[in-house]
Amino acid sequence: MLEVRGLSAFYGDAQALHGVDVRVAPGEVVTLVGRNGAGKSTLLRCIMGLHRDVRGSIHLDGQDVTAVPAHQRARRGLGWVQDDRGVYASLNVEENLTLPPVTNRETAWSLEQVYEAFPVLADRRRAPGTTLSGGEQQMLAIARVLRTGATMLLLDEPSEGLAPVIVQQIRDILLRVKQEGTTVLLVEQNVKFASTVADRHYVLAEGQVAADLDNAEFTARQGELLEYLGM
């Protein structure tokens, strides 16, 4: 579903990624873990087409999208949940959900499906975005992407700063979309959370892939990884 080959990214003279290779099969959930500054969010931005100073190639569902603008990648089924959630403060919950265009009607969630999966959003459908808690904003950001029908999700730190009960709800949603065949690549600092949702894990260090681990090995090495990553 996604293949990143030899990807290098630059901020002026500074190089953030060094020849990164990442593969995500259809229906897989894969995490990117690493210290702050390892290049995880930069990699997601490159895949989404939001960072343009890159070398290497990015293929989505067999198509080379390296030079394709971000909005066209979205139309091809790529959905992005950014780390600041991007909730429109001047719109209410339902307006936030219905504003983005549907890119795939076969896979797009209806409002009824969203409200069934996220009851708190149903209760607060008329509430302005500014009044939502951090957990509610995260749910809204994920639900908004599901409403578009995206077949591959990029999630940047979906559990960061949230109460355990909210993290559990987000975990349940990720497992549900995985069961429905959606492919997910997420940046995650919470190693224990990552091990409960993902099939594989890429460990990034200083802009390079330091390890590619299946979930069994990742889980067995959690203590070592927590110490190595300083997490």
- Residue pLDDT, tens place only, 220-231: 887 777 776 665
Question: What is 2-81+150-229's CATH number?
Answer: 3.40.50.300
What is the spatial distance between Cα 53 and Cα 202, in angstroms, rounded to a whole number?
22
Q: Given this model, what pLDDT does residue 61 score?
A: 92
Helix (H) or strand (E) holding 21: strand 14-24
Ordered strands of the 152-156 beta sheet: 78-81, 152-156, 183-187, 29-33, 200-205, 208-214
Main-chain dihedrals φ then ψ at residue 73, nearest 5 degrees: -65, -40
Q: Helix, strand, or coil here: 119?
A: helix
Q: Where are the alpha helices (DSSP H) in the chain?
A: 40-48, 70-75, 93-98, 111-117, 119-123, 134-148, 164-179, 191-197, 215-220, 222-229
Residues 70 and 44: beta-carbon distance below 8 Å: no
pLDDT at 230: 60
Identify the pLDDT of residue 194.
Answer: 86
User: Helices 134-148 and 164-179: crossing angle, nearest 10°?
Assistant: 10
Q: Strand 200-205 vs strand 54-60: parallel, antiparallel, or unpaired?
A: unpaired
CB–CB of 215/223 below 8 Å? no
What parts of the chain have a pLDDT lower than 50?
Answer: none
Global pTM value: 0.90
What DSSP string runs through 188-229? -S-HHHHHHH-SEEEEEETTEEEEEEEHHHHHHTHHHHHHHH
Give the list of residues 6+ apart from residue 11 with CB closer than 8 angstroms, or none.
53
